[in-house]
Structure formats: C-alpha cells, structure tokens
A and B are shown apart, each in its own frame.
Chain A
Amino acid sequence: MTTTTEVNHDDDHHDGEHHEHHIPYGIKRWLYTTNHKDIGTLYLWFAFIMFLTGGAMAMVIRAELFQPGLQIVEPHFFNQMTTVHGLIMVFGAVMPAFTGLANWLIPMMIGAPDMALPRMNNWSFWILPFAFSILLGSLFMEGGGPAFGWTFYAPLSTTYSGDGTALFVFAVHIMGASSIMGAINVIVTIFNMRAPGMTWMKMPLFVWTWLITAFLLIAVMPVLAGAVTMVLTDKFFGTSFFDAAGGGDPVMFQHIFWFFGHPEVYIMILPAFGIISQIIPTFARKRLFGYASMVYATASIALLSFIVWAHHMFTTGMPVAAELFFMFATMLISVPTGVKVFNWVATMWRGSMTFEVPMLFALAFIVLFTIGGLSGLMLAIVPVDFQYHDTYFVVAHFHYVLVTGAIFSIMAAVYYWLPKWTGKMFHIGLAKWHFWCSLVSVNVLFFPMHFVGLAGMPRRIPDYALQFADFNKWISIGGFAFGLSQLIFLVLLIKACKKQGEPVSAQVWEGAEGLEWEIPSPAPYHTFETPPVVK
C-alpha cells in the first residue's frame, strides 16, 4: 500500500463555501455541529468521561473485594456495580471511543471532506448522553439499577429483576440506535467518498478494520435490540420467550444474546487491530509486512465471529455435537489472529525502531493482547472450560483483551493522532508516566486474577473464601493504582486541549505515512474539500 498523494492546500481556503469562514462558537457549536472533527472530539470526551465513571464503579467493586467479608456495600448494590460497570465500559467507553476515532480519522485518511451523513452523525452522538443518563439514573430508582450482570441472563433479568429493568432496556435501545447510525455513516462514507485513486487495497488498515466492524455492528445490534425487547415484554407484558412455564426457554436468551455478544467482542477489537497496524510501521520505519493478509485476516475473524457464540455457554447443557462444533470454530479464530500478531512482529523485524509514547502503548498492546488471546484459546477447550467458566480466569481473560487490548489501543491512537488534532505535541513526560504507571498497575490488577480463577473463585461475588484473600488484596491495590494513573491522562488531555506544548510539523512523526499526515497540523476545520489524488 503506497499512497503517494498530491494535496492541494489552496483548496482549504476558498471554493465559495461560506460556512467555513466562521466556525461557530460556544455551546451551539457543539450542539448543532455536523463537522466530523467536532463530533469526533465529542465522542472521545464522552468516552473518556464514561471510562472514568465506569472506572469509579470498578473502584467500588475492588474496595469491597479488598478483604473477605462485607464492608462497604450490600450484595444487591455490588451486583448493580458489576452490571453497570460492564455496560458503561462496553457501550459508553470503548465503542464511542472507536466511533470518535472513526469520525476524526476516516475522512482524513480517505481524503473525504466529512462523513457522508453529517446530520445523522450529530444525532447519533447526541442521543448517547441521554442513553447513559437513563442508565445511570436507574441506579437512584427504588430497587436500584440493573443488577443481573451486563449479560442480563433471563429469567434473572425478567421475572426476578427490579422495575429499573425498563430503564435499562430503553437505554440499551438508544445505545444500539446510536451505534447502528454510526456504522451506517462509516460504511456510506467509505463506499462513496474515497478520494480518486484510493482503491480498496490502498485504504489504510484502520479504515479497513472499521469498515468490517461497521458491518458487524449493523448485523448484530438489531439482535441485541430484539433481546432487550423480549426481556421487556417478558417482564412487563406477560410473554414467555424465556420462561419455561410458558413454553419458552431461558437458554434461548443466551443464544440470542451471545449471537450479538460474540461479534460485539470483535467490534471492540477489530478497530484496535487497525490502530496498531497504523502505529507499528510508523515507529519501525518499515512497511507493514503483509497488508493484504491483514485485510483478509480481519475479514475472516469477522466471519468466524458469527459461528462461535455458544463458546460462552458450554456449561448450559448443550449436546456434545454442538459443543464440539463451537470448540473447533473457536480454536479456528486463533489462526487469523495469530497471522495478525506475526505480521506486527515481522514488521518490527529489521526495522529501525524508536519508542515514542504511541509505540509504547502499541508494543504493550501486542504482548498483553496476545496473553489475553492465549488464555482465550485455553477457554475454547470445552473439557477444561468447565473448570474455567464463570471464574476469575475468565475475568482476567476478557480484561486482558479489553483493557490492555482495546483500551490500550485507544490510548495509543490518542497519543498518535493528538498532535495532528491540536497542532501541539502533548506533554511527553506526563505521557510516559501515564504509560509506565498504567502498564505496571494493570498487570498487578489483572494477572493474579488468573490464579484466583484457577483456584476456584467464581466471578460476580461480593465476598469470597479466605484462600483468595491475599491475591484479592493485590488485585485491589493494582486496581486503585490503575484508576489513579488515568488521572495523569486526564491532566495531559486538558493541557492538550488548551493547546499547550510545542508546535508540530504536518507529518508529526518521522515515518508516518498517509493522507492525514499531509494536511497541516492542527488539522484545519475543513479538510479535503477538493479531493486529493492518490496515485
């Protein structure tokens, strides 16, 4: 993928468009904006606020689990914390952060002036704060918020849940609508607005991975909407989708949920693969080893993600044949995932590496995500999964792929493109503190979870047997340290938004390639009003 480009910078300044000359200011700028960069910023700040909110809930969880016994919260509130922590991190932090990056970057990467559907873009962002206000508001209702886990298994979420379930269902509907609109926008933009010469196999990998992610979103968010709707009618309108007494089946809920849930896992990791594939070549100063195989690997992971959902349900009593099928299909996913990791390593091999902050996060991603991937391979093996299932081993696994995977990639992306967005280099000292504190604490936090899980500690419990006490203390200390480390990031981001720091060049990083590095830094409010020609 070589992208030699000609950018006509003069085009940024005329063209007879009048709206570009006065950037709206104040609250109206943000409320009415249809500019992909503004909306990207909104998404990213929203995601970060949600990350801190969900993180605060994790702090409550870790404080309660600091030692055996019930000290701080009641079990019912503890369950609300685990549930809402999960929902907020998945739907409020990781997904909006990726959508924010897509908004900022996809038009700049493919040489488009904006997203294809700018008003819908505005709407898909602005319904999110309402969704999460509803979700968080339910915590203050009589009976509290959702307390049935982010997976909301029926009948715990139907017959046996509090009335706050209705708010949960409504909130999830809004989040789903927002995601679907965001995905449509990405697809339409990529299909129709690529600059001349930007052929499919010249697109940056971040664009490719997001395109595939967008298709996954459109495929599965309606399934989630169906699941929550059935929960709603089972609870309030007397249907029996998941109630055996009325001819339904509680396990069917899990099939429907995980048919959404497993592709959802890849929705949260494919854009991360794209980000890492952008960053590694830049700082290794060497082309990505196998561009085409990366694209094909991403597509195969996406396709396989539709036929592995029941590996979350091996203990539900499926027939052996089904267990075997889902075991084999799941194991198969490690092949394209391995191809990706090998590709990154081969890209670094005999490169000329430097270790700026985005690269540090990217390297940490490769190692720690791979650890999460390997424990995922262990979890795929049904006979041993019976022992791992629903223990802290699983908690360790998915936090390795989601925190040190997805979230580290988002941080890498922010550090990588932030100078392009603000025109100033971020505070490198703070960034390094942020990286090293996060790296150490996140491992103190999640690594011992493997041990307590193997030793038999179930997940989602507010209190535990005495043999798990020592590790849980360390896990909590790691958790608090990781939480505090993110405040360094907050300070850094505020400084960056105040435009403090050294001015940067258009290319920012030696070795960075692609259209977004050819426009000035900071990126002008409107870019590529006349498309560049990609040769």
Chain B
Amino acid sequence: MKRILFKVGTMLTALMTTRVFAETTDKIDQYTLNMRKGVTDISAEVYDMHMLMFIICVVIGVGVFGVMFVSMFFHRKSRGAKPANFHESVKVEIAWTITPFIILIGMAFPATKLLINMEDASEPDVTVLVTGSQWKWHYKYMDNDVEFFSKIATQQDQIKGKIPKGVNYLLEVDRPLVIPTGKKIRFLVTSDDVIHSWWVPDFAVKQDANPGFINDAWAIANEPGIYRGQCAELCGKDHGFMPVVVIAKEPAEFDKWIAEQEAIQMQAKEEEQRLLAMNMTMPEAMTQGEQVYLANCAACHMPNGEGLPGVFPALKGSQIAVADKPRHIEIMINGVTGSAMQSYAKQLTMSEIAAVVTYERNAWGNNTGDLVQAKDINAVMNGQ
C-alpha cells in the first residue's frame, strides 16, 4: 500500500517537474542594446519599424540640435554677436508645421498596415488558452486534453544570493509552453485575479491578461528554440518572478509531445482516482505537504506561516488552521472571493491538497494532530 503510494507520488512529482526542453538547444540571446528581431515574420517587421522610427528620430534630433549648437557657438555675445530682430514669419511657421505632418503620414502608413496584420488572429492551427494568476501561468491546449501550470523554476537560494545564479536566472520555468513551428498559434489570454501581461519578445506578442475578459494574439514561430519573456504588467508582490518560457518544436516532434502529454495527464487522473482509496501516514503527508506548501503557498503566507501582516494572513495559530477544519479544506478548494486566495482545486491533486492541509495544521506549532486524506478532499469537492 505504502509502496504504491510512493510510486504514484514520485510519478506525479516527475510529471510536475518534467524538463521537456532537454533535447532542444537553448539560445541565450546576448542582446542588451536593442530590440530583438525575434523569430516570427511579424517580429522582424516590428523590428524594422522600430529601426525606421529610430533613424527618423535620430535624423530629426541631429538636425534640430545641430542648428541649436551652431547658434550656441556662433551667435554668442562673447564672440561679439549682435542680436537680430526678426520674428514671426508665416512662411517659416507653415513650413515647420507641414513638414512634420508629412513625415508623420509617412510613418502612419506602414504602422497601420503592420498593426492590421498583427491583430488578425483568425484561422489558427493551434489555440492555447493562457491564464495568468498570482504568480504563475496556466496553459490549456484547446484542441487537446492537455493543460498545466507554469511556475518560475529559479531557486530562492539563487535569488537570495546564497548560491550562484544560473544563466537563465529568473527566466526559467518548471513546465514551459510547447508549440509547433510554422503553425499559426492563437493565444487566448485571460486572468484569474489581477491584470497580468503575457509577453514573449521574440514573437513581438505582449497581451494583457484581464480578469473576466479574453484577449487574443497570435504567432508563427519560424525556428525551433526556447523563447523567454516575463509578465509585463505589475501584478503584485512577485510580479518580477513570473517568467514566460515557450519552446517551439518541429510539428512532428510537437505532435509526439502532445500525444505523450495527453497520455500522461489521462493516467494521472486515473491514478488520482485510485489514490482516493488510500491513506497517507503523517510523516508522508508532512513531507509532501511541505513541498507543496513551499511551491504554492509560501509566496504569500511565507515559509514560516506568518504571512505579511495586513496583506496576507498568517496561518500560524490562525483559527481556521488550528480549529475549523471543514472551512480550511473548503478555502483550499474554492479560494476566498474578494481576496488574493485562489482556488487550488485545479492546481493541485486531491492528495496534494490533503497533504498541504495536513502540513498547515501541524507545522509551526499548529499541533492539531489532524491528518487529512485525499478522500476527505474528494468528499468536499463532490459536495458530500
């Protein structure tokens, strides 16, 4: 019994932390000066548009400042310059109103064309629902039975400076989004809580994730590779720790990958049902619970369970965590409306929820001795 449980446990853990990008080469961009060209036709056009704008602005700047510097040098009193008396020339003033106007029209045409092209997300080959929540992304393939959460994979010790930082510091996730190359991917972007913004610079895609509304964007990645971005809209405490990683694979490889994922997720669901019949021991629940807690809860409630006073409530010694067990389980499953507490029903398996509830009820001096099992969670979820 215990052994089966362990096997399933390791399998689920493996599923959660699969590094699917092992076989693809990781291109670390060394761009630190300019916008990147990216890997889609659109992103290359955006880059060209950016360079065009940049050059026009530099030319205007050099012209205006040039005249100004010439006059600062030659028309100074110390060189004996006598002030002229000219002012108000209708011709000159019309000229310097019309000329910028014509330049602007010249810019507006290509910009409009490009924008209309960018906003046309029709007839996609693959559709992915991207949902932001504090502080992770959830990806759901609309045409397949595959969905998962994607969280930052950089260790806290790297952030706190206790160990050296890796090359992809803050730009690495546990489970990247995988897409096929050469196919039109439509991203439906939304949020479960505050506004986030899903940004992949290499695709020139930045789309706000608004709670209650769905935006779309699209990309056709021309080259296989790993593309990294970040959340671009301030979304609370860990806004800086919400990376986006997308892997583009050849279509054949992608098909293989998605089929594998479907099988794994199907199997995981079956395993979860089977787990309902089993019981964890206290040490097992505490070990797994601590892992789950640190990965999902500690960002707000803090590793020591004390929360952030006034913002995120403490669990240590809280009424719910030491007394009201049904409410504790219900909060884990449904979240708390009107607060930052999310629903974990979809994010964690029932045995994980059971483990973390057990952990919270016994850690940091909350010594209730309560041991919650997956079937207890199942009972609440199914309204029993």
Give the interface of A toward B (CB within 8 A): 68-71, 75-76, 79, 141-144, 147-149, 153, 155-156, 159-160, 162-164, 243-245, 249-251, 284-293, 315-317, 320, 323-324, 327-328, 331-332, 334-335, 338-339, 341-342, 345-346, 348-355, 363, 366-367, 370-371, 374-375, 377-378, 381-384, 386-387, 389-391, 451-452, 454-456, 458-468, 470-471
Contacts and interface: CB of A to CB of B under 8 A. Distances in A.
Contact of B111 (A156, A287, A383): A383
A153 B76 contact: no
Given A244-B213, A245-B212, A463-B170, A387 B68 contact: no
B93 interface: yes
B230 interface: yes
B28 to A, nearest CB: 8
Contacts of A317: 189, 207-208, 210, 213, 215-216
Contacts of A284: 75, 83
B53 A378 contact: yes
Contact of A163 (B68, B194, B310): B310
B225 interface: no
B88 A290 contact: yes
A250 B215 CA distance: 13
A470 B31 CA distance: 12
Interface string B59-95: 0110011011001100111100111111111001100
Contacts of B169: 68, 465-466
A454 B31 CA distance: 9
Given A244-B211, A251-B210, A455-B33, A164 B237 contact: no
Contacts of B208: 315-317
A464 B96 contact: no
B112 interface: yes
Contact of B71 (A292, A350, A355, A455): A350
A290 B87 contact: yes
Interface of B: 28-36, 45-46, 49-50, 53-54, 57, 60-61, 64-65, 67-68, 71-72, 75-78, 81-89, 92-93, 96-97, 100-101, 104, 107-108, 111-112, 114-116, 118-119, 134, 158-161, 165, 167-171, 189, 193-195, 197, 199, 201, 204-208, 210-213, 215-216, 229-241, 308-311, 337-340
A463 B212 contact: no
Contacts of A386: 46, 118, 204-206
Contacts of A315: 197, 206-208, 232-233
B170 to A, nearest CB: 5
A163 B32 CA distance: 40
A293 to B, nearest CB: 5
26 contacts: A69-B159, A76-B311, A153-B195, A156-B195, A160-B193, A284-B75, A287-B87, A289-B86, A289-B88, A315-B206, A315-B207, A317-B210, A317-B213, A320-B116, A334-B100, A346-B92, A348-B71, A351-B75, A377-B57, A387-B201, A390-B199, A390-B206, A455-B32, A458-B230, A459-B234, A461-B240
A460 B234 contact: yes
Contacts of B61: 370-371, 374
B311 A143 contact: yes
B76 A354 contact: yes
Nearest to A244: B212
A507 B286 CA distance: 81
Nearest to B160: A70
A490 to B, nearest CB: 29
Q: Which of A71, A317, A328, A338 has the most CB of B within 10 A?
A: A317
Contacts of A250: 195, 210-213
Contacts of A387: 35, 46, 50, 201, 204, 206
A160 B340 contact: yes
A317 B197 CA distance: 11
Contact of A370 (B45, B65, B77, B207): B65
Contacts of B159: 69-70, 463
Contacts of A354: 76-78
A335 B76 contact: no
Nearest to B113: A383
B229 A456 contact: yes
Nearest to A393: B35
A458 B206 CA distance: 11
B160 A69 contact: yes
Contact of B72 (A76, A348, A462): A348
A164 B308 CA distance: 13
Contacts of A320: 115-116, 119
Nearest to B243: A465
